[in-house]
Amino acid sequence: MEALVTTTRDVRVRNRFEVLRQLYRSGDVSRREIADASGLSFASVCNLVGELLALGVARETRFEDSGGGRPRGRVTVNAGYGALVGVDIAETYVQLQLFDLSLGLLASAGRDLHPEDNTPALVVSHVAAALSEALQAAGLERAGILGAGVSLPGQVQREKGVSVFAPNWGWHDVAFGDLLADALEVPVYLDNPLKASTTAELWFGVGRQHQDFAVITLGTGVGAGLALGGSLYRGSSNSAGEWGHTRLVLDGRVCRCGGSGCVEAYVGAPGILQHLRDRAPDSPLLRPDDQTASLNALALAADAGDPVALAVLTDTARYLGAGLADLVNLLNPEVVILSGWVTDRLGSLLLPEVRIAVGRHALRRPFEATRIQLCQVPEPVALGAGTLALEGFLAGIGAVTARPGAPADPAHLPTARPAP
Ligand SMILES: [Zn+2]
């Protein structure tokens, strides 16, 4: 069970996140602006900013007149303080991104995973190779890495870094965090794509304007990341958001979770291809044993107006809309974001009919309060994983002093693109 203990230190860590989030949102901000935007008192903000400056995590930029008092600088993230790693491990690939502390991208590297080769040792070796490649490309030393956030499919016991169950790989209780930390020699923060993509939205996407939203991942697997009251909702055992395994059809299609009639069995990639098989068993769009290629072919055919492909998208949108309506009724979110690789390929084609279907099935009041849109954050899982590493690092610095040699300016890291 994840402990839910609120201590003075927890409050301090939470407030530190809040101050940092304002720095990430604004780039360059005064203490007064942080206080106004966060609701924290000016004195608390000065205190927390002072701590971040002393640690070297933040730095002051240009000074401004404070009306007779001591002139105070505007504050920004010290991008060069150290590097963060975000890793998106999916059923078919490993994508690794190396960031500076402001979550500006420094380098990235990827590896393909084959469905039959998925032992923990093999996945670890791919991540390690990708990290070495990214470090070399960025001209960085491993010692500069503050932590690696890693998203793994399936259910994850975050605090122990254990993959509880990865259904496509048949992993049960794999101590993946330890294996990876030994290989990478950096602190590892393990979670799943639902939590990672929602964290990316909280820091860099719709979370800048909205408190209550759901991030729907449509891929081989399906799930929802939930942000409630401006925070990621994990539930009592980090399992919140398994919406993909809620019941859409009683005694319906068998699901890979072992149940039947789950949302995922109708709107995950294999479920969508099953709609195609039901309508056209010999469709040339079906590529044997290649889900990704079949989905790509389906998307191209739908774009070209192929009637079977369009009918399959209508089937998918109807099931997806019905499933989302349950979520809208249950949570009353401001925004529902569609994300994941299936959304990348089919999202813009699905969206109009999904909106209609949600409207048909949801209650009017929550439906009218909900916007349904496609994800705008690039590579949200890797970025979110990097942000989880940032959060892990920030949570641990309560008793830590400034890193020796931490530079006051970002000169020792290459120029980064601005965080999205
Ligand atoms: Zn299921």
Average pLDDT over residues 197-218: 94
Q: Compute, in angstroms, the gap from residue 254 CA to the centroid of ligand 1.
A: 8
Kindly give the distance from the C-alpha atom of residue 326 to the centroid of ligand 1, in angstroms, as a whole number: 16
Give CA–CA dist 249/304, Å, rounded: 31
**Which two structure tokens, joined as six digits, stand for 66?**
């404070």
Residue at 299: amino acid letter: A
Separation of 13 CA from ligand 1 center, angstroms? 36
Expressed in angstroms and rounded, the spacing between residue 227 Cα and the centre of ligand 1 is: 22
- In this predicted structure, the answer to whether residue 404 has a pLDDT above a threshold of 90 is no
- Residue 362: alpha-carbon gap to chain centroid: 26
Q: Does pLDDT of 415 surpass 70?
A: no
CA of 221 to the centre of ligand 1 (A): 9
Cα separation, 166 vs 3, whole angstroms: 23
Give residue 267 CA to ligand 1 midpoint distance, Å: 11
Higher pLDDT, 37 or 138: 138
- Give the separation between CA 181 and CA 161, rounded to whole angstroms: 10
Q: How is residue 375 annotated by DSSP?
A: -
Ligand 1 centroid to residue 295 C-alpha, Å: 21
Tell me how far the alpha carbon of residue 151 lies from the centroid of ligand 1, in angstroms: 20
pTM of the model: 0.87
Q: Which burial class, exposed, middle or buried, applies to 412 when counting CB atoms under 10 A from its CB (0-12, 13-18, 19+)?
A: middle
Name the pLDDT band for 66 (thresholds 50, 70, 90): low
State how far the Cα of 315 lies from the Cα of 83, in Å rounded to an integer: 45
Band (pLDDT 50/70/90 cuts) for residue 2 is very low
Q: How far is the CA of 300 from the centre of ligand 1 (A)?
A: 28
- The HSE-up count of residue 94 (CA atoms within 13 Å, CB side) is 25
Alpha carbon of 324 to ligand 1 centroid (Å): 16
Q: Look up residue 408 and give its two tokens.
A: 């006051």
Rounded distance from Cα 327 to ligand 1 centre (Å): 16
Structure tokens at 139: 């001209």
Work out the number of other CB atoms within 10 angstroms of the CB of residue 24. Answer: 19
Distance from the alpha carbon of residue 257 to the mean position of ligand 1, in angstroms:
4
The predicted-structure confidence for 72-102, as pLDDT tens digits, reads as follows: 789 999 999 999 999 999 888 899 999 999 9
Kindly give the distance from the C-alpha atom of residue 258 to the centroid of ligand 1, in angstroms, as a whole number: 6
Ligand 1 centroid to 384 CA: how many Å? Answer: 25
Mean pLDDT of all residues in 98-119: 90
Three-state DSSP class for residue 206: helix
